[in-house]
Structure 1
Amino acid sequence: MSARPSLSQHLPAAGSAGADELVAAFQEWTAAQGITLYPAQEDAVLELASGGHVIMATPTGSGKSLVAAAAHFLALARGERSVYTAPIKALVSEKFFELVEVFGPENVGMVTGDSAVNAHAPIICCTAEILANEALRDGAEAEVGPVIMDEFHFYAEPQRGWAWQVPLIELPQAQFLLMSATLGDTSGFERRISARTGRDVVTVASAHRPVPLSFEYSTTPLQQKLEELVADAKAPVYVVHFSQREAAERAAGLASLNVASTETRERIKERLKTFRFAKGYGTVLNRLLRSGIGVHHAGMLPKYRRLVEQLAQEGLLKVICGTDTLGVGINVPIRTVLLSALSKYDGARTRQLKAREFHQIAGRAGRAGYDDEGTVVVQAPTHVIENEQALAKARAKHGDDQKKVDQAVRSAGKKKPPEGFVSWSEESFDRLVAAQPEPMVSRMRISYAMVLQMLERPQDPIRGLRRLILASDETPARKAILQRRALEILRELLAAGVLERLDEPDEDGRTVDLTLALQDDFALNQPLAPFAVAALELLDPESESYALDVISVIESILETPYQVTGAQVKKLKSEKLAELKADGVEYVERMRILDEMSHPQPLKELLTQQFEVYRSSAPWAGDHELTPKAVVRDMVERAFSFTDMVNHYQLARSEGVLLRYLTDAYKALRRTVPQDKVTEPLQDLVEWLGELIRQTDNSLLEEWEKLAGGAEDATAADLDLSPDVAEEPDRVTANPRAFKVMVRNAMFLRAQLFADEKEQDLEELDGETSGWTADRWAEAMDAFFGVYDDVFVDAHARGPGLIRIDESPDGHPGRWRAVQVLDDAEGNHDWGIHAWIDLAASDAAGAPAVLVDHVGELHQAPS
């Protein structure tokens, strides 16, 4: 962290300073940092100091974060609690560390759905949903002064916009600072917020950008255009795509681009010397980075995204291919933004970009303090560029002979857009550049969780809900629909016994009351966790599959990672299709069978039936969907490592999605399963999962595990958390329990491949390290299947009785001895796969280093 003086040191004595003195104290601090406030910043700070609300509608790079710091400073001086909200946890965490640096660790806290740190601090960072639930629960009694809502354009986001509107309605005591570069017309917000709170509302808007933008529509082929931009000193260039696949494929196609000097390549090489890339996409990314090309999207492992951000901040990357997450404030400094398209698929249809989306992305070009100008380039559609190139080539060859030019162009063949393509033109581009962001549309909704939160408040809930809905920014027709929905929810809660009618109103005017107490984090983490706990009662702890069944129950309440489950379906259909063809099944019947296939859904019937029973007494569960699936269980049953899973399902572009899901599963297993339901095999699997995640990328777990360890009253300084330090995980052998599960899995994987007679796959696993070629495995298979007809690989086969691990074999320090007994059809168990486990090599690889010794009868001595 920087050693610059804390802003809190500039606080005057409590209650001793007026607005002018506080502004002067803040400006004294900014001057000490070498910062001179822009006029728009001065106006906003003065208005906040006078007690008014501020809507900060200024361009990206105009210093809105500094105004937010002023709001926190003013709150500290007044003895008030201030809250910073943002749309995603990553931004909340980033802002938390920034504010810790500015105000000191004792003054800043963070609350997320997972955990909390220093939750009673005077400055709190949280997502909009956290604040919205506090507003519903406590209303005008909530202890809150200034509320800074960053990226406020999320107010118009269909699924989450309610969380940005509720605080504006339910916190009349708050002083709001609403910030975004793409708000559009704010007059409606000014009127409504002023009417609700009785305070003045000022919109601070300025078209002036500290770093002005230039705009260009390009019909030059992309690779050529990038080379021009780099040659013109307009790098780093962020190439915007609207899917992770397009970003990754584009980057791979630019690998030969000559953008990095020899000196830069040497610096990158030195910088990457100690970084551990995993197999799979890590190999591809390593090669790209050494060429000065970066990739950045949510499907990547967090450690890779962070590495790209750090290399970009150090000026080592000239071109970065990424997705439109750039518009949500990713931490990458950019001089030029190049949009590869002006249309995107929004989940329902492909459409042209809206003005807000375009300006949100374009606004990231140009770095304050570094660049005199930012550049925004939009590429014409590919077929248009190719046709332009063909025309230019014909003119260069035939000059003014239009007849020959036309003939040459016809001969070349006019390129047409692909089917379903939504085109754009230079006119589309000019219109977006000139357009103001669209008016933001209210997205209020009413859910069980919202109603239950409001029922905690000492007031008549029916009147409270009606007031909330009528005060919303919805149309009269939508308000009527929301009121009907609220009454439906109240009736269901009464029918389920969650609510009871009171014979007469209580002292708070309540006519109904809750019959249960809600936990503080109700509906914030895994809202169906209580269902999962109830469903665990249906399982038999004595069953061989108990540990896996517990995992299936927990997986059913997690958000579905569609990239992973989609890949599972694709793989299953591919395998089934080959089987059906081999069996001679007719085409129509094959298609019918394939159409009915889905991803694995263990316990689906049991869990679905139980969920319907549960909903009858807990109607709020209807806000959420139970989604049986098997991702963790699939990995366990197939004995896969993270890399095995990625390779098997071809998930290289979605490694980050898989890792986040595994992390959520690990957290839920740790937090949700009661201790009396945890058996030793289950605990082994939980330990294995945690270690697998840490060895893959420890950044998603390290902070959570520290925070989850009762750190609510600790500060950032106590926890020694830093977003800039990418610590290597501990040695994989340092956790013997988890490592032993990894060894078991590695050995059982070989038994599975042996059973399926996949000698080529076995060679890929062991050929390099222990010399076990496909031919050698085939010989071992011939010997075994000459005696036995089959090898079982079911739950019993992978049980502890058929794996033998010696952690201290005589005369072999630094090694373990492992034997996977093959579960033969006759149950003799006299053959096995014998191997050494090299501990030092395992630590270097982050996974068991298996050296197969021999495959044969168990009485054979190891070599």
Structure 2
Amino acid sequence: MKVISGTDTLGVGINIPIQSEVLTKLCKFDGERTRILSVRDFRQICGRAGRKGYDNRGTVVVQAPEHVVENLKLEAKAAGDKKKQRKLVRKKPPTKGYVHFDKATFQQLLKGKPEPLQSRFQVSHAMLLNVLSRPAGGCQAVKQLIKSCHDRNALQHRHGKTAIQMFRSLVEAEVVSLVDDPDRPGIKRAQVNVDLQREFSLNYSLSLYVVETIKLLKPELDSYPLDLLSLVEAILENPTIILRKQLDRIKGEAVGQMKAEGIEYDERMERLAELDYPKPNADFIYDSFNEFSAKHPWVGQENIRPKGAARELYEQCHDFRSFVVGYKLERAEGMVLRYLTDVYKALTQTVPEWARTPAVDDLIDYFGGVVCGVDASLLEEWERLRDPAQVLTQVVEEQKPETPRGITANQHTFTVLVRNAVFRLVQQLSRRQYGTVAAAVQAPSDQPSWTAERLEEMLVPYYEDHEAIRTDPRARGTEHCQIKHGHIEPGGTPAAGGSSSERRWRIVQVLVDPDEHNDWMLDLSVDLDRADEADGPVLVLHRIGS
């Protein structure tokens, strides 16, 4: 391999023999802002130049900023021609994702001293739960852990106070209880609540806020799963790019509406400045968090971050691809997948068993299906890590010959993918997007292909009796989507012989109307073999009717 092109990760994260390096920039986006490389980062990256055992030195070249190089080229072309020099239009530096650097910046990085390392030790609920889960000596182990960290004595003392405050909050939330120590009569020891689900964890700094605030929600409401999702999203890091795209869309729609209303430019700009990305239940979340932080001093500078990125994806029943394309996030697919994976993990680990309703389980399955639909290996690996016993037996299992695995191998996960795809059709039909539906489904082999006109014609009788097709959380319930697993023919009878070419599931999706007569449905099937080939559900629509 002669050339490797990549981000600074190549220089920081891997160890490969590189003779020369070319840096196109001396600035980088660190997840929050664009900044000049630190001396430590610069030396770490440049230290990869030079192949051990082959060279006694390596070469590092830093390019000038792109606009500077382009301007030098323009000046060279116009050299000696005063007319061209007068008309010369120099390229301007980028307005986003750029911090100015020049030769002086390069020299400062060369001569500067690496910044001192700083301890990142922090006491967290997840740490306490992991240590307190030991059979004995959990509290003493926490003390020893704090004492052995690399912080100064004053900071260690502060960590100890934080640990005590967090421990008390865990006891108040009934996540941890104090029980009699059988080996030491009269002494209490900490024990993690055995009624919590096996995968329960508090891996996020404000996870306990979710556990306590869920009690304020009303499970009987149709909006309960969405309200719970908003709580979970509020404790996660902001996916800046997604939120920026959401705000851009809101502003675009607002501009169009204000222009139609004849609002003047200056007033439009003032109104646009007041807009923000969606923050569902923001008032409730802010108020409940203020009460939570007042009760728990360890919260400190931590803050809540209401947002609705995952909630929009769920409400609109997007799959990963449609969400990425809709917001033009193709260059940030990895970030989107990472955020949705965090949402799925947080829902699975943070929401206690007592707070889960069938609708919440459907919500969790939905995000599991979205993540699995993009990269099943991520979800499978995490599921294995959730079960230590499975990890221990993995070595034995790997010695067995591998069997072919397609997207249908995990029946539960594939069922979720099918249900999501079917409800997307319902949403599109409710918006009368017949062309989109026609492109998303196939017709049986003995029928003509579906067209927008044919679909619209089939739904004319429906709209004569009903005002609309509902797509609210209740209409999305699994009771309205019946899936018959196994070798099922479109008519609902088992396929003769049960050959692999006849592996079909039958799906009946009820179209919920405002009066809940529910007398219309979609009759579909999915071919499992074709789904394995396409790496996703291939839906065949047989009919729409009563």
TM band (smaller chain):
0.7 to 0.9
Q: In structure 2, which of residues 531, 536, 543 is the aligned counterpart of residue 842 of structure 1?
A: 531
Percent of aligned positions that are identical: 35
Alpha-carbon deviations, 1:792-844, whole Å to 9, x = none?
Answer: 32122223344343443226542223343333345443444443322222222
Find the counterpart in structure 2 of residue 810 from structure 1: 493
Find the counterpart in structure 2 of residue 381 from structure 1: 65
Find the counterpart in structure 2 of residue 640 from structure 1: 318
Judge conservation of contact 1:698–1:729 (CA < 8 Å) in 2: no
Q: How far apart, in 2, do the equivalents of 1:341 and 1:335 lie?
A: 19
Q: How far apart, in 2, do the equivalents of 1:692 and 1:383 lie?
A: 41
Find the counterpart in structure 2 of residue 747 from structure 1: 422
Paired AA for residue 633 in structure 1: R
Q: How far apart, in 2, do the equivalents of 1:359 and 1:377 lie?
A: 13
Other structure's SS at 2:414 match: helix
Judge conservation of contact 1:835–1:850 (CA < 8 Å) in 2: yes
Paired AA for residue 509 in structure 2: Q
Q: How far apart, in 2, do the equivalents of 1:464 and 1:625 lie?
A: 28
Residue 445 of structure 1 and its aligned partner are, at CA, apart by 9.0
Q: Which runs of 5+ in 1 are unaligned?
A: 1-233, 238-319, 396-401, 473-481, 500-514, 722-726, 859-863
Q: How far apart, in 2, do the equivalents of 1:539 and 1:559 lie?
A: 23
Closer/same/farther in 2, CA of residues 353 and 824 from structure 1, 3 Å limit = same
1:771 aligns with 2:454: no
Judge conservation of contact 1:822–1:829 (CA < 8 Å) in 2: yes
Other structure's SS at 1:383 match: helix
1:235 aligns with 2:36: no
Closer/same/farther in 2, CA of residues 393 and 697 from structure 1, 3 Å limit = same
Residue 729 of structure 1 and its aligned partner are, at CA, apart by 9.5
Q: How far apart, in 2, do the equivalents of 1:594 and 1:729 lie?
A: 54
Closer/same/farther in 2, CA of residues 719 and 661 from structure 1, 3 Å limit = farther
Residue 329 of structure 1 and its aligned partner are, at CA, apart by 1.3
Paired AA for residue 437 in structure 1: K
Q: How far apart, in 2, do the equivalents of 1:742 and 1:449 lie?
A: 34
Closer/same/farther in 2, CA of residues 409 and 361 from structure 1, 3 Å limit = farther
Closer/same/farther in 2, CA of residues 665 and 440 from structure 1, 3 Å limit = same
Closer/same/farther in 2, CA of residues 596 and 772 from structure 1, 3 Å limit = farther
Matches within 5 A, 1:507-522: 517=190
Find the counterpart in structure 2 of residue 798 from structure 1: 476
Matches within 5 A, 1:81-160: none
Find the counterpart in structure 2 of residue 565 from structure 1: 243
Other structure's SS at 2:318 match: coil
Closer/same/farther in 2, CA of residues 235 and 599 from structure 1, 3 Å limit = same
Q: How far apart, in 2, do the equivalents of 1:440 and 1:565 lie?
A: 34
Q: How far apart, in 1, do the equivalents of 2:15 and 2:51 lie?
A: 12
Closer/same/farther in 2, CA of residues 381 and 664 from structure 1, 3 Å limit = closer
Find the counterpart in structure 2 of residue 668 from structure 1: 346
Find the counterpart in structure 2 of residue 47 from structure 1: none
Residue 589 of structure 1 and its aligned partner are, at CA, apart by 5.3
Find the counterpart in structure 2 of residue 532 from structure 1: 210
Q: How far apart, in 1, do the equivalents of 2:341 and 2:127 lie?
A: 30
Residue 339 of structure 1 and its aligned partner are, at CA, apart by 1.5
Matches within 5 A, 1:175-214: none
Q: In structure 1, which of residues 597, 610, 625 is the aligned counterpart of residue 288 of structure 2?
A: 610
Judge conservation of contact 2:279–2:306 (CA < 8 Å) in 1: yes
1:437 aligns with 2:126: no
Residue 660 of structure 1 and its aligned partner are, at CA, apart by 2.0
Residue 526 of structure 1 and its aligned partner are, at CA, apart by 2.3
Q: How far apart, in 2, do the equivalents of 1:762 and 1:647 lie?
A: 17
Judge conservation of contact 2:126–2:203 (CA < 8 Å) in 1: no
TM normalised by structure 1 equals 0.49
Alpha-carbon deviations, 1:158-200, whole Å to 9, x = none?
Answer: xxxxxxxxxxxxxxxxxxxxxxxxxxxxxxxxxxxxxxxxxxx
Q: How far apart, in 2, do the equivalents of 1:712 and 1:801 lie?
A: 33
Closer/same/farther in 2, CA of residues 621 and 774 from structure 1, 3 Å limit = same
Judge conservation of contact 1:569–1:598 (CA < 8 Å) in 2: yes
TM normalised by structure 2 equals 0.74
Find the counterpart in structure 1 of residue 176 from structure 2: none
Residue 443 of structure 1 and its aligned partner are, at CA, apart by 6.8
Paired AA for residue 26 in structure 2: L
Other structure's SS at 1:842 match: helix
Closer/same/farther in 2, CA of residues 381 and 334 from structure 1, 3 Å limit = same
Closer/same/farther in 2, CA of residues 613 and 703 from structure 1, 3 Å limit = same
CA-based RMSD of the aligned residues comes to 4.7
Closer/same/farther in 2, CA of residues 373 and 699 from structure 1, 3 Å limit = farther
Residue 385 of structure 1 and its aligned partner are, at CA, apart by 2.1
Find the counterpart in structure 2 of residue 622 from structure 1: 300
Judge conservation of contact 2:17–2:52 (CA < 8 Å) in 1: no
Other structure's SS at 2:300 match: helix
Closer/same/farther in 2, CA of residues 236 and 555 from structure 1, 3 Å limit = same
Matches within 5 A, 1:239-254: none
Q: How far apart, in 1, do the equivalents of 2:139 and 2:85 lie?
A: 72
Find the counterpart in structure 1 of residue 518 from structure 2: 829
Q: Which structure has the higher relative contact order (CA within 8 Å, separation 6+)?
A: 1
Other structure's SS at 1:536 match: helix
Task: Using the TM superposition, name which of 831-840 and 581-590 deviates more.
Answer: 581-590
Other structure's SS at 1:791 match: coil
Paired residue total? 500
1:390 aligns with 2:390: no
Q: How far apart, in 1, do the equivalents of 2:405 and 2:508 lie?
A: 26
1:651 aligns with 2:340: no
Alpha-carbon deviations, 1:375-413, whole Å to 9, x = none?
Answer: 433222223322332344456xxxxxx4x3x44444444
Q: How far apart, in 2, do the equivalents of 1:675 and 1:625 lie?
A: 26
Other structure's SS at 2:49 match: coil
Other structure's SS at 1:843 match: helix
Judge conservation of contact 2:482–2:507 (CA < 8 Å) in 1: yes
Q: How far apart, in 1, do the equivalents of 2:467 and 2:152 lie?
A: 70
1:682 aligns with 2:360: yes
Looking at CA atoms only, which structure, 1 or 2, has the larger radius of gyration? 1
Q: How far apart, in 1, do the equivalents of 2:324 and 2:430 lie?
A: 22
